[in-house]
Structure 1
Amino acid sequence: MVWWHAVLIALAGVWAGMINTVVGSGTLVTFPVLVAFGYSPVTATTSNAIGLAPGSISGAIGYRREMRGQLRRLLTFIPASALGAVGGTILLLSLPPDAFETVVPVLVALALVLVIVQPRVSSWVLSRRAEKQERAGDGGQSGRKGAVLLITMIFLVGIYGGYFTAAQGVMLMAIMGILMTEPIQRLNGIKNVLAAVVNVVAGTIYAFVAPISWPVVGLLAAGSILGGWLGARVGRKLSPTMLRGVIVVVGVAAIVQLVLRQL
């Protein structure tokens, strides 16, 4: 690995750690960088899962104030994310590499769409939350149904995150915002914890059975730890529009790069 590749990968890790903590979709920064430097999509994905996991943990710790009193809820959600992550890794390791390379541009495009529409989703979530509060008083029946649906959706996002990590944070925020009535910053803290669980579980499995670039993992881990710490402290002051703009530009570049590899 040439020195300037190492510098760019580490910087991408910092930026991804910040984005993951504040918005989600940091993989859309690091994944294209790794593909552009010649790593296969599978190796880029597995190395990302391990390398960005420390940053997810760092970001989750940064939101510890918002997470007070949420232990019982997390103990309900974490198993769903962990089991989903196992399912996602099984998919990645059992399907042929060609299948992954074919589907990745579609997944990146889906992730970009989610990033772009996230502000509208947030507005819709807020309006839905107000409607739910007005209609409260059904004896808890809809609450029980909502809890089952929420855990099921967290499990499905875990599968997606174990297979391809990009935008799982955006998906989690959309789902929890619709089905929960907690403040948005608390939801962001829960999102960071669940994303960390998915990355740690998937990364642990990949470390033993999948192709990994350990120098890349080390650079991403160092960068993402710093990025997660910065994201939890100053990320809220950054323009969400700027963050989304960077994600979209880098994501489009990734799609072009991946499509050209298949031609």
Structure 2
Amino acid sequence: MSLTHILLITLAGVAAGTINTVVGSGTLVTFPTLLAFGYPAVPANISNSVGLVAGGVSGSWGYRKEVVGAGARLRQLTPMSFLGAAVGALLLIWLPPAAFKAIVPSLILLGVVLVLIGPWLQKRAAAHHPDETAPMSRGRQLALTGGVFVCGVYGGYFGAAQGVLLMGLMSAVLSDSLQRLNGIKNILSTIVNSVAALTFISVSFHDVRWSVALLIAIGSLIGGFIGAKVGRKLPPWLLRAFIVVVGVVAIATMI
């Protein structure tokens, strides 16, 4: 592996870790980079998932203050992310590479739309349920937990724009601040990437390119800290706009 090869993959990891922490879709930087260097699609995807776990950890740590008091919410949603990630990772190993190609852009578009109309949905929900301390309705609970499971399946399978989907879902269903939701998103995304990585290592160990995974891990670890520093300073409207832009770019790239 040449010095240029090492440098570019590491820098792609830094960019991916930064983007993932702020919104998601860092895979749209690292995955094409690996393909450009000639790595096959499935090993590239698997190695990328293993490497990006480090960035998720540093990004989640950087957002630790925003998730203070969100323990109950995380305990509710963590099992859904865990199960969804395991299912998605196994689907990647078992199904043809193009199996989800048609549905992925539609899922990301749904996430973008939910991010855009999230404030309106929250106001409407508040008008019908002014007491936010009251338990969520069964419909909202099912939408939240089921949606997080679906995001986990998607994240375990591919992962690009997983953050957009999670932010769209949570901003539509929950009334928490956008920054708190971003902190929760980082933790759930890290869980998904970790479970997917462990599944890949256990079931398809030979497909992991360990040198590549290590370079992405080093880069994304740095990028996670950078993303937390930048993302926590963004006002809600700018963070929402950034999520939408990244989502649109992801759709255009995949189409």
Shorter-chain TM band = 0.7 to 0.9
| Residue type at the aligned position of 1:87 | V
Residue 220 (structure 2) aligned to one of 220, 224, 231: 224
Query: Matches of 2:26 and 2:127 in 1, distance apart?
Result: 36
Q: Deviations over 1:152-187 (max 9, x none)?
A: 110111011111111111000001111111110000
- The answer for the alignment partner of 2:23 in structure 1 is 23
- The answer for the alignment partner of 2:171 in structure 1 is 177
- State TM-score, norm by structure 1: 0.84
- Paired positions, count: 248
Q: Which has the higher helix share?
A: 1
What does 1:112-131 align with in structure 2 at a 5 Å threshold?
113=109, 118=112, 121-131=114-124
- The answer for the alignment partner of 1:132 in structure 2 is 125
Residue 142 (structure 2) aligned to one of 145, 148, 166: 148
| SS in structure 2 of the partner of residue 233 of structure 1 | helix
For the 8 Å contact 1:19–1:25, the answer to whether it is kept is yes
Unaligned runs of 5+ in 1: 256-263
Judging changes above 3 Å, is the alpha-carbon distance between structure 1 residues 244 and 11 closer, same or farther for their aligned structure 2 residues?
A: farther
For the 8 Å contact 2:161–2:247, the answer to whether it is kept is no
- The answer for the alignment partner of 1:195 in structure 2 is 189
- State TM-score, norm by structure 2: 0.87
| Residue type at the aligned position of 1:83 | L
Judging changes above 3 Å, is the alpha-carbon distance between structure 1 residues 195 and 46 closer, same or farther for their aligned structure 2 residues?
A: same
Query: Matches of 1:44 and 1:227 in 2, distance apart?
Result: 20
For the 8 Å contact 1:28–1:251, the answer to whether it is kept is no
- The answer for the alignment partner of 1:215 in structure 2 is 211
| Residue type at the aligned position of 2:230 | V
| Residue type at the aligned position of 1:201 | V
- The answer for the alignment partner of 1:204 in structure 2 is 198
| Residue type at the aligned position of 1:203 | A
Judging changes above 3 Å, is the alpha-carbon distance between structure 1 residues 227 and 244 closer, same or farther for their aligned structure 2 residues?
A: farther
Residue 166 (structure 1) aligned to one of 148, 160, 167: 160
Judging changes above 3 Å, is the alpha-carbon distance between structure 1 residues 7 and 248 closer, same or farther for their aligned structure 2 residues?
A: farther
Judging changes above 3 Å, is the alpha-carbon distance between structure 1 residues 113 and 9 closer, same or farther for their aligned structure 2 residues?
A: farther
- The answer for the alignment partner of 2:39 in structure 1 is 39
Query: Matches of 2:85 and 2:151 in 1, distance apart?
Result: 8
Q: Is residue 69 of structure 1 aligned with residue 69 of structure 2?
A: yes
| Residue type at the aligned position of 1:132 | A
RMSD: 2.7
| SS in structure 2 of the partner of residue 166 of structure 1 | coil
Judging changes above 3 Å, is the alpha-carbon distance between structure 1 residues 216 and 106 closer, same or farther for their aligned structure 2 residues?
A: farther
CA apart distance, 1:234: 1.9
Judging changes above 3 Å, is the alpha-carbon distance between structure 1 residues 108 and 12 closer, same or farther for their aligned structure 2 residues?
A: farther
For the 8 Å contact 1:28–1:108, the answer to whether it is kept is no
For the 8 Å contact 2:152–2:192, the answer to whether it is kept is yes
For the 8 Å contact 2:6–2:215, the answer to whether it is kept is yes
For the 8 Å contact 1:62–1:232, the answer to whether it is kept is yes
Unaligned runs of 5+ in 2: none
Judging changes above 3 Å, is the alpha-carbon distance between structure 1 residues 108 and 226 closer, same or farther for their aligned structure 2 residues?
A: farther
For the 8 Å contact 2:25–2:160, the answer to whether it is kept is yes
For the 8 Å contact 2:89–2:196, the answer to whether it is kept is yes
Query: Matches of 2:168 and 2:83 in 1, distance apart?
Result: 20
